[in-house]
Amino acid sequence: MMHSVPLLLQVADPQLPPSPGMFVLFGLIKAGVAFGIYMLCVAYTTLLERRVAGWIQDRIGPNRVGPQGLLQPIADGVKNFMKEEALPATANKALFVMAPAIAFVPAMITWAVIPFAAPLPIPGVGLISMAVADLPIGFLFILAISSLGVYGLTIAGWSSNNKYALLGGLRASAQMISYEIAMGMSTVCVLLLAGNVNLNEIVAQQQGQAWNVVLLTMAFFIFAVSALAETNRVPFDLPESESELVAGYHAEYSSMRYSMFPLAEYANIITSSGLMVTLFFGGWDIPFTQWDNAAPHSVVKTLVTLGAYFAKVFFFVFAFIWIRWTVPRFRYDQLMSLGWKLLLPMALLYITAVASLALALDFAGVVRTSMAYTGAFLAMNVVFVVLVFWVLDRGRIVSPAYSRIERERLAKMRLGAERSDLLTGKGA
Amino acid sequence: MATKRTVEVELSTTGIGPDGKPQRIPLVAGGDGGVALQAPPGIEPDLEGEHMLINIGPQHPATHGVLRLVLELDGETVVRCIPHIGYLHCGFEKIGEYRQYNQIIPWTDRDDYLNCVGNNIAFALGAEKLFGIEVTPRCTVLRVIGMELSRIISHLVWMGTTCIDIGAYTPFLWSFQERENVYNLFEGWVGARLTTSASRVGGMAADIPDGWLDGLKAFVRTFPKTLDECDRVVTKNGIWVGRTVGIGVMSPEEAINYGLSGPMLRASGVDYDVRKDFPYLDYETYDFEVPVGVHGDVYDRYLVRMEEMRQSVRILEQAIARLPDGPVNVDDPRVILPPKHKATSEMESMIHHFKNVMEGPRPAPGEAYVAVEAPKGEKGYYMVSDGSAKPVRWRIRPPSYVNLSAIPKMVEGHLLSDVIAINASIDIVMGEIDR
């Protein structure tokens, strides 16, 4: 009796979706493997950062532990576990302990919906999608989860009961909120073109047309800047800004609790790079060929596209590191004005432009996959890029003297402080 | 009743609260005008917002030593800034009263420890004024080389640390590499790298060894390239310009009134350089420019110092070309030790050696003040002699100390981040400030 054969043993066509049982089983396997590889990448990004920094700064970097320092992340991990954990007497203990985990987990969960290779056909099982969870709401999930990371930083800063940490935590929350909006707005353009929030569909759209970096250049710039700000890296490392706030929100942390924060930062770098690749650089797509995304799928195609995806992500991770060791840090008010006064209006304007152009082209009957369609968007982008990078010059975008408050206000502030001065006996 | 917490209140002390946890106990004014340690009942945040008091230093990555700044912040805006100094006080000037002139030279290493050779030479110039000694031509040129090299390393440290303070880490390591090259040169010359004690009354500790000038020539050739690299990374960087332009402005009048000197003064547009206006050694014969800023902000100070390094290279090139042969030390047995072989074979030389070592050279009674253009500003050494081998008074005019006095004026009204940038732009060395 055929219908009594258990679901798991059903023989399936490898080019079709798997049965629900297999879907769950392979979902778990994918989660395990992806988690392992992801953690390995995070650990080795720390090494990469130190070696690249050494390269940029004309020095060697860690090369003692293992060949070329390859065991350095393990040594660091062991060292951090062995260190004493200091818990400030006045800290809010529960939140203080919880904060590192809150910072770390969202970066990792975000990764779950990003597709990293062409679907893998497994004989007898079916076509396995190469995203840990191919959620229909893909991108909305990312927006929802990635905002959670800031709670870790803010709670860490607040619960430490340290002024530097508090300032760091406050800066982190303000910064994240400001840039989250610009980031969300920049991705609206992507969703407009894809007509879908599923990341696999977004990749498919780019395979059909051109990569979104060509179609939506400005959105990519906005997204890249926001991603830098979201990961708290130079030039947006204000929450921890070593030279001002000592270590900012993690000033009171030590041992593994401390290293959870850098790990969260590196996890965020990888996730942001993965997102940039998926949204703007075609995901796992190999350019100038339709071989990789046309059926029938095969193991070779999966591996090659996986390699392409990793190469792209590696490039962006490298770019993150490169930027960090090249540029100075923004000031708080400059950061805010860049986010609210430049990136957000620009993103809104760009959404309008993209929507109008897409609508106009559809009315004119231009086929979406045609060269004319791509060319029209490219022309619009050239106009925008010229406008922003040549007409609005950098010196004016980041105005130098926002922080200088008026002398009268300062005098008034000091007067107020003077009046309530307890030492004069008038205040108490 | 709501009150604002102010500097004095918060400054008070920490104590133990009723639950055994550390707690801040503010000072309150008693009825008799004295202060008492007790938490006033009225302390609570008011609706206008509470001012936060933040203590930067003496152990803070950006205070360049043990400077302590107490800042009253409204949000992140500085309402008030109170600098505290003295954490590195060693009593150099008092110790000097118990040391012979040549023995004071090692103490000059330690006051501005980024400009050791310059200090050594400046002190020797002052002592020579007391003794009435004219140094040899070769010594004069060597001293110019030493002073300009130490100006370069001091500015390199300033550049590197300023870059770190503003968030750019990489130029720091580039500048420290060049600094290593200069320290290698010093090591070849006098044997020490940081605390050089390179000068003596009447000459130098040692003549330069064979081949040393080749090393200097190589440095003069390669150093401007490093400087250009740093220039490319930061000078036109939008963030760098945004962080420094219009920050910590001092007008020319304010700069003069605060007694600023060196790059701080020149960045404000006052063309004053001791090397040009009151030449010492033979600076008047060198061809170099004094960079002068316009706006007196952090960016202009940065530009002035960067250009000063290039001008120092020009001076070094000229000094290499004109370095004459001949003795380094003056032929004056009062202050200069005789060669060892003569001290063990000639009666007079042995007596000179003995008197010089045991009693020390004795200048005529009088006083001398010599000011030189140190990297941080006008550095002065003042000494009074009563005819004995030790000065009865020895004073330092530390440029960092005077320049630092303007920091409350410069930072109030700026953001917390600007405090760090402004502090870096003053280029302080606490050894010199606390003495």
pLDDT tens column, B239-266: 787 788 778 888 888 888 888 998 998 8
| Structure token pair of residue A342 | 């430049």
Cα dihedral A321, A325, A328, A331, rounded to 10, equals 40
Question: Which residues in chain B are contacts of A241 at CB distance < 8 A?
Answer: 167, 417
In a domain, B93, yes or no: no
Residues 6+ apart with CB under 8 A from A27: A132, A133
Residue A329: which of B166, B247, B419 has the nearest Cβ?
Answer: B166
Q: Nearest CA to B280 among B134, B125, B131?
A: B125
Predicted confidence (pLDDT) per residue in A348-362, tens digit: 988 998 888 888 888
Predicted confidence (pLDDT) per residue in A285-321, tens digit: 777 777 777 767 777 888 888 888 889 999 999 998 8
Predicted confidence (pLDDT) per residue in B305-330, tens digit: 888 888 898 899 989 999 898 888 88
Reported confidence tier of residue B337, pLDDT bands at 50, 70, 90: confident
3-state secondary structure at position B94: helix
Same domain? B38 vs B127:
no
In a domain, B61, yes or no: no
The answer to whether residues A423 and A368 touch, using CB atoms and an 8 Å cutoff, is no
Contact A330 B416 (CB under 8 A): no
CA distance, residue A410 to nearest chain B CA (Å): 6
Residue B242: which of A398, A405, A413 has the nearest Cβ?
Answer: A398
The answer to whether residues B390 and B216 touch, using CB atoms and an 8 Å cutoff, is no
Q: Nearest CA to A340 among A170, A220, A179?
A: A179
Q: CA–CA distance from A227 to each of A219, A232, A273, A274 (Å)?
A: 12, 9, 8, 11
Q: How far apart are CA B434 and CA B396, in angstroms?
A: 11
pLDDT at residue number B153:
92
CA distance, residue A212 to nearest chain B CA (Å): 28
**Strand B68-74 vs strand B393-397: parallel, antiparallel, or unpaired?**
unpaired
Find which of A232, A420, A424 to mutate to test the B interface (most B CBs within 10 Å of its CB). Answer: A420
CA distance, residue B243 to nearest chain A CA (Å): 6
User: Which residue did the predictor score with more confidence, A254 or B129?
Assistant: B129
Cα dihedral B163, B166, B168, B170, rounded to 10, equals 20
Lowest-pLDDT choice from A229-243, A247-261, A395-409, B247-261: A395-409
Same domain? B12 vs B118:
no
pLDDT at residue number B32:
52
Q: How far apart are CA B423 and CA B435, in angstroms?
A: 19
CA distance, residue B150 to nearest chain A CA (Å): 23
Percent of residues, chain A, with pLDDT higher than 70: 86
In a domain, A1, yes or no: no
Same domain? B36 vs B131:
no
Res B27 pLDDT > 70: no
Reported confidence tier of residue A391, pLDDT bands at 50, 70, 90: low
pLDDT at residue number B154:
92
Q: How far apart are CA A102 and CA B5, in angstroms?
A: 34
Q: CA–CA distance from A58 to each of A20, A315, B50, B154, B178 (Å)?
A: 55, 21, 46, 21, 12
Beta strands in B345-398 (DSSP E): 366-374, 377-385, 393-397
Note which residues in 296-335 of chain A have CB less than 8 A from chain B. Answer: 325-334
Reported confidence tier of residue A76, pLDDT bands at 50, 70, 90: confident
Residue with tokens 């290499």: B320
CA distance, residue B204 to nearest chain A CA (Å): 35
Question: Which residues in chain A are contacts of B181 at CB distance < 8 A?
Answer: none
Same domain? B29 vs B111:
no
pLDDT at residue number A179:
85
Domain extent for A347: 16-70+84-400
Note which residues in 68-127 of chain A have CB less than 8 A from chain B. Answer: 89-90
Same domain? B25 vs B110:
no
Q: How far apart are CA B38 and CA B369, in angstroms?
A: 51
Residue B22: which of A58, A59, A90 has the nearest Cβ?
Answer: A90
CA distance, residue A333 to nearest chain B CA (Å): 9
In a domain, B258, yes or no: yes
| CA A29, chain centre distance (Å) | 25
Predicted confidence (pLDDT) per residue in A316-372, tens digit: 999 988 888 888 888 887 788 788 888 888 889 889 988 888 888 888 877 777 788
In a domain, B62, yes or no: no
Predicted confidence (pLDDT) per residue in B384-408, tens digit: 998 888 899 899 999 999 999 888 8
pLDDT at residue number B169:
84
In a domain, B269, yes or no: yes
Cα R_g (chain B), whole angstroms: 25
* B233 close to A (CB below 8 A): yes
Q: Nearest CA to B418 among B304, B253, B299?
A: B299
Same domain? B295 vs B404:
yes
Res B212 pLDDT > 80: yes
Question: Which residues in chain B are contacts of A59 at CB distance < 8 A?
Answer: 173
ipTM value of the model? 0.76
Residue B242: which of A53, A56, A334 has the nearest Cβ?
Answer: A334
pLDDT at residue number A5:
46
Same domain? B311 vs B401:
yes
Q: CA–CA distance from B286 to each of A307, B135, B147, B281 (Å)?
A: 63, 18, 14, 11
Predicted confidence (pLDDT) per residue in B264-277, tens digit: 988 888 888 888 88
pLDDT at residue number A101:
86
Q: How many domains does chain A have?
A: 1
Same domain? B311 vs B203:
yes
Res B122 pLDDT > 60: yes
Q: How far apart are CA B94 and CA A219, in angstroms?
A: 66
* A408 close to B (CB below 8 A): no
Name the closest residue on chain B to residue A401, using Cα atoms: B246
pLDDT at residue number A406:
44
Mean local confidence (pLDDT), A59-75: 86
Question: Which residues in chain B are contacts of A53 at CB distance < 8 A?
Answer: 169
Residue A59: which of B3, B173, B247 has the nearest Cβ?
Answer: B173
* CATH number of domain containing B283: 1.10.645.10
Same domain? B426 vs B342:
yes
Residue with tokens 């316009």: B294
Q: How many domains does chain B have?
A: 2
Cα torsion B215, B309, B85, A240: sign: negative
| Structure token pair of residue B262 | 């060196």
Reported confidence tier of residue B152, pLDDT bands at 50, 70, 90: very high
In a domain, B71, yes or no: no
Helices (H), B193-297: 212-230, 238-244, 252-257, 263-267, 274-277
* A135 close to B (CB below 8 A): no
The answer to whether residues A282 and A203 touch, using CB atoms and an 8 Å cutoff, is yes
Mean local confidence (pLDDT), A404-416: 44
Domain extent for B13: 1-49
Res B200 pLDDT > 50: yes
User: How many beta-carbon pairs under 8 angstroms link A with B?
Assistant: 167
State the CB neighbour count (10 A cutoff) for residue B240.
25
Residue A328: which of B4, B62, B234 has the nearest Cβ?
Answer: B234
Find which of A50, A242, A244 to mutate to test the B interface (most B CBs within 10 Å of its CB). Answer: A244
* B83 close to A (CB below 8 A): no
Contact A331 B77 (CB under 8 A): no
* A58 close to B (CB below 8 A): yes
pLDDT at residue number B145:
92
The answer to whether residues A111 and A271 touch, using CB atoms and an 8 Å cutoff, is yes
Contact B413 A410 (CB under 8 A): yes
Predicted confidence (pLDDT) per residue in A147-193, tens digit: 888 888 888 888 888 888 888 888 888 888 888 888 888 888 888 88
Mean model confidence pLDDT for chain A:
78
Contact B240 A421 (CB under 8 A): no
State the CB neighbour count (10 A cutoff) for residue A248.
28
3-state per-residue secondary structure call for A319-343 = HHHHHHCCCCCCCHHHHHHHHHHHH
The answer to whether residues B237 and B163 touch, using CB atoms and an 8 Å cutoff, is no
* A411 close to B (CB below 8 A): no
Mean model confidence pLDDT for chain B:
82
Note which residues in 395-414 of chain B have CB less than 8 A from chain A. Answer: 412-414
Name the closest residue on chain B to residue A171, using Cα atoms: B76
In a domain, B82, yes or no: no
- The helix (run of H) or strand (run of E) holding residue B36 is strand B35-37
Question: Which residues in chain A are contacts of B246 at CB distance < 8 A?
Answer: 400-401, 404
Q: CA–CA distance from A309 to each of A304, B173, B179 (Å)?
A: 9, 34, 43
pLDDT at residue number A345:
86
Predicted confidence (pLDDT) per residue in B70-120, tens digit: 888 777 788 778 888 888 888 888 898 998 888 899 999 888 888 899 999
The answer to whether residues B403 and B262 touch, using CB atoms and an 8 Å cutoff, is yes
User: Which residue did the predictor score with more confidence, A71 or A418?
Assistant: A71
Note which residues in 378-397 of chain B have CB less than 8 A from chain A. Answer: none
In a domain, A413, yes or no: no
pLDDT at residue number A198:
81
**Strand B77-84 vs strand B199-200: parallel, antiparallel, or unpaired?**
unpaired
Cα dihedral A192, A197, A199, A202, rounded to 10, equals -20
| Residue at which a domain ends, from B18, B34, B49 | B49
| Structure token pair of residue A251 | 């000033």
pLDDT at residue number B14:
46
For chain A, the farthest-separated pair of C-alpha atoms sits apart, in whole angstroms, at 97
Same domain? B6 vs B115:
no
Sequence-separated contacts (24+) of A154-159 with Cβ below 8 Å: A154/A249, A155/A95, A155/A98, A155/A99, A155/A102, A156/A96, A156/A99, A156/A100, A156/A103, A156/A249, A156/A250, A156/A253, A156/A261, A157/A239, A157/A248, A157/A249, A158/A92, A158/A95, A159/A91, A159/A92, A159/A95, A159/A96, A159/A99
Mean local confidence (pLDDT), B184-209: 89
Q: How far apart are CA B268 and CA B291, in angstroms?
A: 11
Contact B412 A410 (CB under 8 A): yes
Q: How far apart are CA B194 and CA B116, in angstroms?
A: 7
Note which residues in 57-76 of chain B have CB less than 8 A from chain A. Answer: 60-62, 72, 74, 76
Residue A428: which of B28, B48, B414 has the nearest Cβ?
Answer: B28
Q: Nearest CA to B406 among B309, B299, B305, B297?
A: B297
In a domain, A5, yes or no: no
CA distance, residue A61 to nearest chain B CA (Å): 12
Q: How far apart are CA B117 and CA B139, in angstroms?
A: 13
In a domain, A8, yes or no: no
pLDDT at residue number A11:
54
| CA B430, chain centre distance (Å) | 8
Same domain? B5 vs B130:
no
Residue with tokens 């209006």: A345
Half-sphere exposure of A260 (CA within 13 A, CB side): 25
User: Which residue did the predictor score with more confidence, B289 or B144?
Assistant: B144
In a domain, B126, yes or no: yes
pLDDT at residue number B207:
87
Contact B8 A235 (CB under 8 A): no
Res A137 pLDDT > 60: yes
Name the closest residue on chain B to residue A426, using Cα atoms: B29
Predicted confidence (pLDDT) per residue in A87-131, tens digit: 888 778 888 888 888 888 888 888 888 888 777 777 777 777 777
pLDDT at residue number B141:
92
